[in-house]
Amino acid sequence: MGAMIALLSGALWAQDTTDPLEHIRKEGMDNSQVMDIASWMTDVYGPRLTGSDMLDKATGWALDRLKAMGLQNVHTEEWGPFGRGWELEHFEMHAVAPSYFPVMAYPRAWSPSTNGMVQGEVVYLQANNAEDLEKYRGQLKGKFVLLDTLRTVSENFDGHAKRFSDSELLEMANAPAPTPRSFRGFRGSGANFRKALWDFFWEEQPAVVLDRAGKGDLGTVFVSGTSVAEGRPQNPDAKVVPQATVSIEHYNRIFRLLQKGIKVELAMELKTRYTNPDGMQENIIAEIPGTDLKDEVVIFGAHFDSWHAGTGATDNAAGSSVMMEAARILVETIKASGIQPRRTLRIALWTGEEQGLYGSRAYVQQHYANTDAQGNVQSLKADNEKVSAYYNIDNGTGKIRGVYLQGNAAAGTVFRDWLEPFKDLGASTLTLSNTGGTDHLSFDAVGIPGFQFIQDPMAYSTRTHHSNMDNWDHLVADDLKQMAVIVASFVWQTSQRDQKIPRKPLPEGVGTDQ
């Protein structure tokens, strides 16, 4: 009898009676896998340009990893058409006259290949309107065309990385409610010359059009996609001339030589391949099933795609890795505590974000709302009301300092208590302000409470965002751990509360589909 009592006592002591929120923090801080997840996502499966073969490979890896973590209903959901993808296979550029030097540059995504190594004279296109272009008629074929003037480079004595100061966070906290979102309209100004310029380049067929971006120095090159006269470079019939972005120091040197009347010749070889012949793309979805409120969902996500010059680390393997790690933490917490989520927990990794939030917008249109071409809500679908909240990470590697409420003051009363345990980790600020440019907007636009967390800026906009320096080495492990813990905590508490997260009112006249 004594032996049986001892065995029962041992079994009871072996159980983990930790509160789920305590376990989330312990699991995320002590047993983190976030940097390993990020390394696979970047070093092995980066970059992840939408439509590329590498993104397909990365998607396969993510599905396998989510299944191995113990998530259920792991699948992709197709959206589109997006158009053709693009893979870079080879690139090099050199100055060959008046002297040799290698040129640091990166092709812009969706540039076509050259016919082997091409060599030509450099010219500066000085034009402000369609009439100015005519003086270059018949003179650009096979040339290397500079599109920009000189840009002054100043030494930075203060460093590039920063965290939010207490005064900056206080200013955010005291910000007034934002102006309500209005219906979107069409933009028209400036489009005429842009179309004339790129039509002109297509007619003249220069070897390559070169720019130097508006920021970046010391080897950092910010580069994204090609420009076209109309439509999108992803369209199979788009008229795209080769384009590349040159490091500012090399661009300025070439420009100054031209100013001195010295002839400059460059040589370049660019080999690319268009991919994704069916034009369709996929979002990644996985779930932890709920219990008594399983028909309601808590969604947490980030965009999985990236640009091509780096490996997409801070933009946005940081967010995607944090969300995958948060999902893992939640699975382990459920195992350890024996407590199941009430609502279904759904992780979503979006594609096509860099080209216009395409993946998340398509998902919202498929499941939650009917919208017009500009994203304005026409009517809500029945499942819209089943989403309690959407949480997003997409501002780099900096730790969470709080939440942008998107004007949702009622949600702030809930989040204030949830942030209280994380003051020691630097997260305590709530601001009514909006923040833009990422996938939470797709949900916020259709009445679903959608939130982006406030993150320390670090060197995101000054060094890594859309640049060749966006690599694993610029991720901050302690910050990603903190983010994963806070995200997992918010998701868990959203799943367990009796009510859904409060909502803002939709514009008048928006109804629900029957």
Q: 502, exposed or middle or buried, with CB in 10 Å at 0-12, 13-18, 19+? A: middle
**How is domain 18-83+278-512 classified at the architecture level of CATH?**
3-Layer(aba) Sandwich (3.40)
DSSP tag of 384: G
pLDDT tens per residue, range 184-223: 443 344 678 999 999 999 999 999 999 999 999 999 999 9
| HSE, side-chain direction, 13 A CA sphere, residue 374 | 8
Top-confidence residue, 432 or 510: 432
Give the rounded percent of residues in the chain with a pLDDT score beyond 70: 93
Q: What is the pLDDT of residue 36?
A: 98
Among the listed residues 467, 438, 351, the one whose alpha carbon sits nearest the alpha carbon of residue 58: 351
pLDDT tens per residue, range 235-250: 999 999 999 999 999 9
pLDDT tens per residue, range 410-459: 999 999 999 999 999 999 999 999 998 999 999 999 999 999 999 999 99
Domain parsing of the chain, residue ranges: 18-83+278-512, 87-153+190-275
Secondary structure string (H, E, C) spanning 131-197: HHHHHHCCCCCCCEEECCCCCCCCCCCCCCCECCCHHHHHHHHCCCCCCCCCCCCCCCCCHHHHHHH
Alpha-carbon distance 494 to 404, whole Å?
17
Residue 95 reports pLDDT greater than 50: yes
Tell me, which fold does domain 87-153+190-275 have in CATH?
Glucose Oxidase; domain 1 (3.50.30)
Cis check: omega of the bond before 206, within 30 degrees of 0 = no
Q: What is the pLDDT of residue 347?
A: 98
Q: What is the pLDDT of residue 179?
A: 78
Average pLDDT for 81-89? 98
Residue 108 reports pLDDT greater than 90: yes
User: In which region does residue 345 sit, left (phi positive, over 0), alpha (psi from -120 to 50) or beta (all else)?
Assistant: beta
Average pLDDT for 98-108? 98
What mean pLDDT, rounded, does the chain reach?
A: 93
Average pLDDT for 388-412? 97
pLDDT tens per residue, range 291-321: 999 999 999 999 999 999 999 999 999 999 9
Give the model's confidence band at 38: pLDDT under 50 very low, under 70 low, under 90 confident, else very high.
Answer: very high
Residue 163 CB contacts under 8 Å (≥ 6 apart), including other chains: 398, 456, 457, 458
Residue 98 reports pLDDT greater than 90: yes
DSSP letters spanning 264-326? -EEEEEEEEEEE-TT--EEEEEEEE--STEEEEEEEEEEE----SSS--IIIIIHHHHHHHHH
Alpha-carbon distance 91 to 506, whole Å?
49
Backbone CA torsion sign across 429, 432, 436, 440: positive
Give the rounded percent of residues in the chain with a pLDDT score beyond 90: 89
Among the listed residues 404, 485, 434, 387, the one whose alpha carbon sits nearest the alpha carbon of residue 27: 485
Give the model's confidence band at 15: pLDDT under 50 very low, under 70 low, under 90 confident, else very high.
Answer: very low
CB 284 within 8 A of CB 71: no
H-helix segments, 231-271: 248-259
Give the model's confidence band at 65: pLDDT under 50 very low, under 70 low, under 90 confident, else very high.
Answer: very high
Which regions of 330-439 does DSSP assign to beta strands (E)?
A: 343-350, 369-371, 377-380, 387-392, 400-404, 429-431
Give the model's confidence band at 355: pLDDT under 50 very low, under 70 low, under 90 confident, else very high.
Answer: very high
Q: What is the pLDDT of residue 87?
A: 98
Give the model's confidence band at 506: pLDDT under 50 very low, under 70 low, under 90 confident, else very high.
Answer: confident
Q: Which of 52-61, 152-161, 202-211, 476-485 has the lowest mean pLDDT?
A: 152-161
Give the model's confidence band at 180: pLDDT under 50 very low, under 70 low, under 90 confident, else very high.
Answer: low
In our burial notation (b when 16+ CB lie closer than 10 A, e otherwise), range 60-84 reads eebbebbeebbbeebebeebbebbb
Top-confidence residue, 90 or 436: 90
Secondary structure string (H, E, C) spanning 416-440: HHHHHHHHHHCCCEEECCCCCCCCH
Q: How many CB atoms lie within 10 A of CB 237?
A: 7
CA distance between the termini of the chain: 64
Average pLDDT for 135-147? 97
Q: What is the pLDDT of residue 4?
A: 45
Rounded to 5 degrees, φ, ψ at 355 are -95, 0
Alpha-carbon distance 22 to 475, whole Å?
26
